[in-house]
């Protein structure tokens, strides 16, 4: 407490000196772990609340003093007249004053507003104009999705008529931040990394946490951290503001959470000018053929309902493309519809008109942008359970409540939208469709809140979303299509009423809707948290259980994360004092080891970070960096399972696909890959590609994805830098695998895309297990039996020679069976004892 007193006194002194705290922080800077220390000791601080409140009062007074002596600033922005006009129509403009007053008075403000009300694009501009970026500080905005970080920075730059060097973005692989950056959009993971470098985030004057309703893990952690950083900054006389923005009104997890904010932050609601949306439920709920149902509904809307854009919500990239393809077939550009549903032969006149007047859609819109944790499309292409199929019942009549008739000759302008789509393709949805055409955007969940598409009058909602699930016991991850929440369904419906009254067609019954959960649960409750725990430990937050999570993960999950990190050598072993109860174990605060710090410096999951640390120790760093970079990029091989439009394009694609399958086999058959498996395939492919100068042509000729190769190159650079900047760890003893690898009872299979598919290695290590139609191991590498006693002596049982007839006895071999064509393993991941002399 004395310290606190001292600190507040100090900052007062510096206040008087008007020295922006450069002196006052001297003492703290000598001890960089002090701030997290404060976090750690928080639990103990309850009794000092009175004192704290006094301090808070002091801080508030200080802030007022500061505000009072600050001139009211207004930084002019030179916007184009049409931009200014469009801005003025946004509901948030009416609240500018209220928002800015609250921001001035409070450390933290929560802002709720319907999607499209202008939160993301306008609030940074308000802050900029109010001078929050004029005295050296940056206005930082975090987004859970890369798509949003990039597209919003472009949009705000355009609106403000400022170059991208001023309104910039930073995502894991790339960015355009400069010394002049004033507004910086970034993914939440990027900001978390920055907190590791500078706990006080001194370069920011304001941090905006956008899309907080999505409850992405990093967003949650950032809010927890910022709830401590912001008061600390203000105590130090380095004012900082936090704005939490949400598209739903459900913000109690932030505001009513006493562990986060002792005084609840004010909540400002932006009333969106929302037009009525009529919701139509299906009578029946299709079991799995919702893409077919969606297609039918779009056809009906387009044929029978008056003009207005259509927005369709599906669950994944493959579905999106499949529906786009069917729509383009059903409604090729032509002035008159001959008959519907199937591929039609255009009349000569129609063909001519098509070529003349209508733009062709670029079908090659697939892109391989890597996606941050939390993006719903990471698995794109793996589990394509696109279940279209039933014949179209074209005799159906549209819903009777629409009297107006549509003009059937209107062309349909079909655009896909999903996270992995290249930014320039995504941008298309924001421009008006070709004159006279009806816009139809077939999207994944990305269109639910992150991006607002203008001109949508009809929404078709399949009621499902694809989410990554982790099995806590087995550690198996899978992408599953599940029902959305009622909140999500209403968000989706709301997209139809932005510019005029609209209609939402739910491809499920009202009874099914009634069974939806009210809100989507926070991501942190659905995934392992080993990476987060490591990052927190690196911030010297030892008692992770005491961290002010908006929604705390279960202690079970925290314990297993700590255990994984202990077995990876990233955390110190807890003292083995008797039998500890689970809760006590959870409270064990294992400090980070030097190896853990080295691992935390790498922007990859702890297991990969361990590989890198091992690679450094073994002197093969460039290879390990390459392998890790390639493993992080989901798919390095070209996959022509993509839609084509015309017959000739289809034929071309089919040819390419066959060639790619062949190329894949060729890569798998190179050198070490045959014995060792997929990691060597990656290494070989990247090496060859780099040797050839990483050209587009080389990739095309060899079945590699050019974009993936560029990303790998970028990540290699990043990892190499991270390697250089972190201290080398010497003397640490590394092991190869981990103790807490989950126990798996079900058979697992080698993925057909693996180089080891149809081979029968005795031992393997895998990158991950993905459940699609079967439990598949991906990224499989063979392990030779004789490595195990060397690398994993703790798993081996060494017995006297006379007891063991053969020099090697591996009980595991006895369990390997052949099951029809597929390799069938019954594997106990706790390696069985190996007897040897």
Closer by beta carbon to ligand CDP, 211 or else 530: 211
Q: Which is nearer to Mg ion, 119 or 503 (CB)?
A: 119
Q: Verify binding: residue 55, Mg ion, rule CB under 5 A.
A: no
Nearer to ligand CDP, 488 or 726 (CB): 488
In the complex, the smallest distance separating the C-beta of residue 113 from ligand CDP, rounded to whole angstroms, is 5
Q: Which is nearer to ligand CDP, 8 or 122 (CB)?
A: 122
Distance in Å, CB of 112 to Mg ion, minimum: 12
Q: Which stretch binds Mg ion (CB under 5 A): 119-127, 295-303, 495-503, 772-780?
A: 119-127
Q: Which one of 9-17, 58-66, 118-126, 633-641 is the stretch in contact with Mg ion (CB under 5 A)?
A: 118-126
**Residues lying near ligand CDP in the complex (CB under 6 A):** 90, 113, 115-122, 151, 155, 430, 452, 454
**Residues 160, 125 contacting (CB under 8 angstroms):** yes
Residue nearer to ligand CDP on the CB measure, 452 or 718? 452
Q: What, of ligand CDP, Mg ion, none, does residue 234 touch, CB below 5 to 8 Å by kind? A: none
Q: Which of 626, 556, 171 shows the shortest CA–CA distance to 375?
A: 171
Q: Which of ligand CDP, Mg ion, none sits in contact with 335, Cβ below 5 to 8 A by type?
A: none
Smallest distance, Å, CB 128 to Mg ion? 17
| C-alpha to C-alpha distance for 316 and 384, rounded to whole angstroms | 8
Binder of residue 117, out of ligand CDP, Mg ion, none (CB less than 5 to 8 A by kind): ligand CDP
Q: Cα–Cα distances in Å, from 116 out to 142, 158, 236, 310, 456? A: 17, 17, 37, 16, 12
CB nearest Mg ion: which residue? 120
Residue 692 and residue 498: Cα distance in Å, rounded? Answer: 51
Report in angstroms how near the CB of residue 145 gets to Mg ion at its nearest: 10
Decide: helix, strand or coil at residue 685.
helix
User: Residue 60 or 250: which CB sits closer to Mg ion?
Assistant: 250
The angle formed by the CA atoms of residues 10, 15 and 21, to the nearest 5 degrees, is 70
Rounded distance, CA 110 to CA 243, Å? 6
Q: In terms of CB distance, is 119 or 506 closer to Mg ion?
A: 119
Angle subtended at Cα 791 by Cα 787 and Cα 796, rounded to the nearest 5 degrees? 85
- Shortest spacing between CB 267 and ligand CDP, in angstroms: 15
Instruction: By CB under 5 A, tell whether 560 contacts Mg ion.
Output: no
Min dist. Cβ of residue 447 to Mg ion (A): 12
* Residue 419 partner contact from ligand CDP, Mg ion, none using kind-dependent CB cut-offs of 5 to 8 Å: none
Query: Cβ of residue 723: shortest distance to ligand CDP, in angstroms?
Result: 37
122 in contact with Mg ion (CB under 5 A): no
Treating both helix axes as pointing N-terminal to C-terminal, what angle do 217-235 and 530-538 enclose, rounded to 10 degrees? 20
Q: Which stretch binds Mg ion (CB under 5 A): 35-43, 100-108, 113-121, 539-547?
A: 113-121
Q: Judged by CB, which is closer to ligand CDP: 259, or 273? A: 273
CB-based burial label for 759 (10 Å; 0-12, 13-18, 19+): middle
For Mg ion, which is the closer residue by CB, 149 or 327? 149
Closer CB to ligand CDP, 219 or 452, in the complex? 452
Among 24, 117, 120, 170, binds Mg ion (CB under 5 A): 120
Interaction partner, residue 151 (Mg ion, ligand CDP, none; CB < 5-8 Å by kind): ligand CDP
Q: How far is the CB of 355 from ligand CDP (least distance, A)?
A: 30
Q: How far is the CB of 153 from ligand CDP (least distance, A)?
A: 10
Of the pair 491, 702, the CB lying nearest Mg ion is at 491
Q: Which residues 6+ apart lie within 8 Å of 721 measured at CB?
A: none
Q: How far apart are CA 587 and CA 592, in angstroms?
A: 15
Give one DSSP letter per residue of 126-155, joined into a string: HHHHTTTTTTS-EEEEEESSHHHHHHHHHH
- Residue 530 corresponds to which tokens in the numbers above? 């080993």
**Of 489 and 533, which CB lies nearer to ligand CDP in the complex structure?**
489
Q: Would you say 93 or 392 has its CB closer to ligand CDP?
A: 93
Quickly count: other Cβ atoms within 10 Å of residue 144's Cβ.
27
In angstroms, the Cα distances linking 147 to 144, 423, 658 are 9, 7, 32
Nearer to ligand CDP, 291 or 445 (CB): 445
| Integer Cα distance of 458 and 461 in angstroms | 10
**Quick check: 216 binds Mg ion (CB under 5 A)?**
no
Least CB distance to ligand CDP at residue 272 (A):
8
Query: In angstroms, what CA-CA distances link 767 with 381, 517, 740, 747, 784?
Result: 17, 33, 15, 16, 17
- Report what 491 binds from Mg ion, ligand CDP, none; CB cut-off 5-8 Å by kind: none
State in angstroms the smallest separation of the CB of 411 from Mg ion: 31
CA distance 200 to 761: 51
Question: Which of Mg ion, ligand CDP, none is residue 761 near (CB under 5 to 8 Å by kind)?
Answer: none
In this structure, the number of other CB atoms found within 10 A of the CB of residue 61 comes to 11
Q: How far apart are CA 650 and CA 392, in angstroms?
A: 22
Alpha carbons within 13 A on the beta-carbon side of 358: 22
State the CB neighbour count (10 A cutoff) for residue 350.
18
Strand partners, 206: 139, 241
Burial class (CB in 10 A: 0-12, 13-18, 19+), 529: buried
Give the nearest distance from C-beta 374 to ligand CDP in angstroms.
18
Can you count the helices (H) and strands (E) in the chain? 30, 24
- CA count, 13 A, side-chain hemisphere, 115: 24
Site for Mg ion in 735-794 (CB under 5 A): none
| 3-class SS of residue 416 | strand
Which of ligand CDP, Mg ion, none binds 113 (CB below 5-8 Å, type-dependent)?
ligand CDP
The least distance separating Mg ion from the CB of residue 101, rounded to whole angstroms, comes to: 22
- Residue with tokens 């039918």, as numbered in its chain: 296
| Interaction partner, residue 285 (ligand CDP, Mg ion, none; CB < 5-8 Å by kind) | none
**Nearer to Mg ion among residue 120 and residue 445 (C-beta):** 120
Q: CB of residue 441 vs ligand CDP: minimum separation in angstroms?
A: 12
Q: How far is the CB of 779 from ligand CDP (least distance, A)?
A: 36
Q: At what angle do helices 146-160 and 81-88 cross, to 10 degrees?
A: 120
- Beta carbon nearer to Mg ion, 246 or 702: 246
Contacted entry of Mg ion, ligand CDP, none for residue 478, CB cut-off 5 to 8 Å set by kind: none
Rounded to whole angstroms, the Cα distance separating 479 from 692 reads 36
Strands 438-443 and 183-187: unpaired
**Parallel, antiparallel, or unpaired: how do β-strands 167-170 and 277-281 relate?**
unpaired
Residue 131's binding partner among Mg ion, ligand CDP, none (Cβ under 5 to 8 angstroms by kind) is: none
Q: How far is the CB of 427 from ligand CDP (least distance, A)?
A: 7
Distance, in Å, from the CA atom of 266 to the CA atom of 126, rounded to the nearest integer, reads: 18
121 binds, options Mg ion, ligand CDP, none, Cβ within 5 to 8 A by partner type? ligand CDP
Torsion angle (degrees, nearest 10) of CA 357, 358, 364, 367: 120
Q: What, of Mg ion, ligand CDP, none, does residue 118 touch, CB below 5 to 8 Å by kind?
A: ligand CDP
**Residue numbers at the binding site for Mg ion (CB under 5 A):** 119-120
């Amino acid at each position: 407490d004395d310290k606190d007193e001292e600190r507040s006194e100090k900052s007062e002194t510096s206040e008087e000196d008007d020295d922006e705290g450069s002196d006052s922080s001297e003492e703290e800077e000598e001890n960089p772990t002090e701030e997290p220390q404060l976090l750690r000791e928080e639990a103990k601080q309850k009794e000092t609340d009175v004192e704290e409140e006094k301090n808070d009062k002091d801080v508030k007074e200080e802030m007022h003093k500061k505000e009072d002596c600050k001139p009211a600033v207004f930084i002019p922005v030179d916007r184009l007249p049409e931009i200014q006009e469009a801005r003025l129509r946004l509901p948030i403009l009416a609240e500018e004053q209220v928002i800015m007053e609250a921001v001035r008075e409070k450390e933290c403000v929560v802002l709720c507003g319907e999607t499209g009300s202008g939160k993301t694009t306008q609030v940074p501009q308000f802050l900029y104009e109010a001078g929050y970026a004029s005295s050296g500080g940056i206005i930082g905005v975090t987004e859970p999705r890369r798509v949003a970080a990039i597209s919003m920075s472009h949009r705000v730059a355009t609106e403000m008529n400022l170059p991208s060097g001023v309104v910039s973005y930073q995502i894991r692989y790339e960015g355009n931040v400069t010394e002049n950056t004033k507004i910086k959009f970034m993914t939440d993971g990027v900001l978390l990394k920055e907190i590791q470098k500078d706990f006080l985030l001194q370069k920011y004057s304001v941090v905006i946490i956008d899309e907080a309703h999505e409850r992405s893990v990093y967003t949650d952690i950032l809010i927890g951290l910022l709830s401590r950083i912001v008061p600390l900054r203000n105590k130090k006389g380095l004012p900082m503001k936090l704005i939490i923005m949400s598209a739903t009104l459900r913000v109690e997890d932030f505001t009513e959470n006493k562990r986060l904010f002792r005084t609840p932050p004010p909540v400002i609601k932006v009333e969106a000018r929302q037009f009525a949306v009529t919701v139509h439920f299906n009578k029946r709920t299709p079991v799995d053929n919702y893409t077919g149902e969606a297609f039918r509904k779009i056809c009906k809307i387009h044929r029978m309902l008056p003009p207005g854009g259509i927005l369709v919500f599906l669950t994944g990239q493959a579905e999106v493309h499949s529906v786009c393809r069917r729509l383009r077939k059903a409604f090729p550009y032509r002035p008159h519809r001959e008959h519907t549903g199937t591929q039609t032969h255009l009349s000569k006149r129609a063909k001519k008109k098509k070529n003349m007047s209508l733009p062709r859609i670029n079908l090659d819109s697939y892109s391989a942008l890597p996606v941050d944790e939390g993006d719903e499309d990471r698995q794109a292409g793996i589990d394509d359970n696109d279940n279209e199929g039933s014949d179209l019942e074209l005799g159906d009549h549209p819903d009777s409540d629409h009297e107006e008739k549509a003009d059937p000759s209107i062309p349909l302008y079909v655009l896909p939208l999903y996270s992995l789509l290249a930014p320039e393709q995504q941008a298309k949805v924001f421009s008006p469709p070709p004159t006279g055409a009806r816009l139809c955007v077939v999207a994944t969940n990305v269109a639910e809140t992150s991006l607002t598409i203008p001109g949508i009058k009809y929404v078709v909602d399949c009621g499902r979303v694809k989410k990554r699930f982790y099995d806590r016991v087995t550690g198996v991850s899978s992408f599953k299509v599940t029902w959305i929440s009622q909140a999500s369904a209403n968000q989706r419906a709301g997209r139809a009423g932005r510019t005029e009254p609209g209609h939402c067609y739910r491809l499920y019954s009202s009874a099914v809707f009634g069974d939806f959960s009210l809100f989507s649960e926070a991501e942190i409750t659905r995934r392992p948290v080993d990476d987060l725990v490591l990052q927190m430990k690196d911030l010297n937050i030892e008692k992770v259980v005491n961290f002010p999570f908006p929604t705390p993960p279960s202690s079970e999950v925290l314990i297993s994360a700590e255990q994984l990190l202990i077995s990876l050598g990233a955390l110190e072993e807890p003292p083995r004092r008797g039998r500890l109860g689970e809760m006590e174990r959870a409270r064990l605060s294992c400090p980070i080891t030097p190896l853990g710090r080295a691992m935390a410096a790498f922007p990859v999951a702890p297991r990969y970070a361990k590989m890198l640390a091992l690679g450094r120790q073994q002197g093969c760093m460039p290879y390990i960096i390459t392998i890790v970079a390639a493993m992080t990029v989901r798919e390095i091989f070209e996959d022509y399972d993509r839609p084509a439009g015309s017959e000739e394009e289809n034929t071309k694609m089919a040819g390419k696909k066959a060639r790619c399958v062949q190329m894949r086999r060729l890569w798998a058959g190179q050198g070490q890959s045959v014995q060792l498996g997929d990691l060597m395939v990656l290494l070989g492919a990247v090496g060859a590609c780099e040797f050839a100068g990483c050209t587009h042509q080389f990739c095309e000729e060899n079945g590699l994805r050019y974009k993936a190769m560029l990303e790998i190159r970028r990540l290699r650079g990043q990892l190499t830098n991270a390697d250089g900047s972190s201290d080398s760890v010497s003397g640490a003893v590394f092991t190869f695998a981990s103790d807490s690898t989950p126990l798996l009872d079900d058979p697992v299979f080698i993925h057909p895309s693996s180089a080891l598919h149809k081979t029968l290695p005795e031992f393997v290590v895998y990158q991950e297990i993905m459940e699609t139609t079967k439990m598949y191991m991906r990224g499989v590498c063979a392990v030779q039996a004789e490595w195990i006693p060397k690398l994993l002596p703790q798993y081996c049982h060494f017995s006297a020679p006379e007891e063991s007839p053969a020099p090697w006895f591996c009980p595991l071999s006895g369990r390997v069976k052949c099951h029809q064509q597929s390799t069938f393993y019954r594997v106990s991941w706790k390696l069985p004892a190996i007897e040897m002399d």
